Amino acid sequence: MTAILVAINLLVVPLLLVGVIRKVKALMQTRLGAPILQPFYDIAKLWGKTETISETASWVFIWAPRAGLAVAGIAALCVPWAGVLLPAGWAPMTNLLLVLYLLALGKFFGMLAAMDTGSAFGGLGASREATISLLVEPALLLGLSALAIGAGSTDLNTIYKGAIHPLVALLVGITLICTALAELSRMPVDDPTTHLELTMVHEAMILENSGRNLAITEYAVALRSCVYLGIASQTLLHAWPAFGSLPLLHRYGISLGALFVLGIAVAMAEGVLVKLKWRRVPHFLTASLVCSLFAGLIAVAQR
């Protein structure tokens, strides 16, 4: 059973989430929007296309996105982001520090590929992505540490087995959502729908990607979206003490529901937010750092 659910998690949910976010955003703007399944069609279309590769690019440009996808896949497999806990034998793989830096490694590969093409935009995007990562890391690490302090373990399976103190869950949930917006290059940090290269973060990095290379990159982003938003929704759900002891399928259903609710919330926020001035991004992320700091304090006090 677990195997089937994990397969659904890895193959179906990520692109579906992307499709739902886009649809809601379109509806918010009184547009009909593309079908919810459009991201699947896009991946299939890109898979069959010829790639255009910059003359200045090396093998790094070809292989870095693949490595990025592999790393994102491992992270998505290990993190119990949809309420499906892995068997106890997987324990070293579900350590939160490992998962965190697996995600960071994925970003590193993305930056490598971006800088390899020699396009000015790739370098610009990579530099911005690195800046954001730098600002996100302390908030994310501190937030997850607060959960670890509460559970007495850095193993995510253990953390998401028991209940989390509601206040800690709320504060860490806010931290995770804010950092997810930054890490996933969504509003108010980055506008995923813009065509203006000079304002882009993530999109500037993948301007040179096409065909399979682009499909792989897009898929990795969808997986990462699930991991980030999934951890956030799991954290919030575990504020409900009985959640951990529900039957697997119930937990799975509620988790997916929460994930999509969060996705819809992100889309609705994008519908009304204005993109922050680049200089103001650190302020936004500092707010989430403060939330995680308080969560840590409360977790320590609770022990």
Provide the binding-site residues for other proteins, judged by CB under 8 A: 25, 28-31, 120-121, 123-124, 128, 187-188, 191, 193-199, 270-275, 277-280
- Residue placing its CB nearer to other proteins in the complex, 2 or 56: 56
SS3 assignment for the chain: CHHHHHHHHHHCHHHHHHHHHHHHHHHHCCCCCCCCCHHHHHHHHHHCCCCCCCCCCCHHHHHHHHHHHHHHHHHHHHCCCCCCCCCHHHHHHHEHHHHHHHHHHHHHHHHHHHHHCCCHHHHHHHHHHHHHHHHHHHHHHHHHHHHHHHHCCCEHHHHCCCCCCHHHHHHHHHHHHHHHHHHCCCCCCCCCCCCCHHHCCHHHHCCCCCHHHHHHHHHHHHHHHHHHHHHHHHHHHCCCHHHHHCCHHHHHHHHHHHHHHHHHHHHHHHHHCCCCCHHHHHHHHHHHHHHHHHHHHHHHHHC
| Residue 158 Cβ vs other proteins, minimum distance, rounded to whole Å | 40
| Residue 197 Cβ vs other proteins, minimum distance, rounded to whole Å | 6
- Residue placing its CB nearer to other proteins in the complex, 158 or 185: 185
| Residue 196 Cβ vs other proteins, minimum distance, rounded to whole Å | 4
- Residue placing its CB nearer to other proteins in the complex, 58 or 194: 194
- Residue placing its CB nearer to other proteins in the complex, 24 or 64: 24
- Residue placing its CB nearer to other proteins in the complex, 85 or 269: 269
- Residue placing its CB nearer to other proteins in the complex, 78 or 200: 200
| Residue 185 Cβ vs other proteins, minimum distance, rounded to whole Å | 12
| Residue 283 Cβ vs other proteins, minimum distance, rounded to whole Å | 11
| Residue 269 Cβ vs other proteins, minimum distance, rounded to whole Å | 11
